[in-house]
């Protein structure tokens, strides 16, 4: 998902994947029902017919990717994990 987002491209994601809420909130792509080729083709056509939507979703995805994978964010998450593992969640 993030590889596409860093390229500023919209994504298609199934509603059966646990991260679809993040995509929905950020408006970085289209969510389609799992195992529904017709809905997927409709989503693809929707984007192909709307260049402005492609660009906006791509920009939203890039912003989300930068926020989620900024070095300071990753470092903070790693520190939290280390604290839990090493100190049983105590500071």
Report pLDDT digits (tens) over 20-33.
Answer: 666 766 588 888 88
The larger pLDDT score, comparing residue 50 to residue 63, is at: 50
Q: Answer whether residue 6 shows pLDDT above 70.
A: no
- Sign for the CA dihedral angle at 16, 18, 24, 28 comes to negative
Handedness of CA 39, 47, 69, 2 (dihedral sign): positive
State the pTM of this model: 0.62
Structure tokens at 85: 């593992």
Q: Taking all residues of the chain, what is their mean pLDDT, rounded to a whole number? A: 80
Look at residue 3 in the predicted model and tell me its pLDDT.
60
pLDDT range class, residue 36, cuts 50, 70, 90: very high
């Amino acid at each position: 998902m993030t590889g596409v987002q860093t390229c500023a491209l919209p994504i298609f994601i199934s509603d059966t994947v646990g991260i679809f809420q993040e995509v929905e909130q950020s408006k970085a792509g289209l969510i389609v029902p799992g195992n529904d080729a017709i809905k997927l083709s409709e989503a693809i056509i929707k984007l192909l017919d709307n260049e402005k939507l492609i660009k906006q979703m791509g920009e939203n995805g890039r912003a989300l990717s930068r926020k989620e994978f900024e070095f300071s964010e990753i470092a903070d998450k790693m520190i939290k994990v280390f604290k839990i593992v090493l100190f049983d969640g105590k500071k």
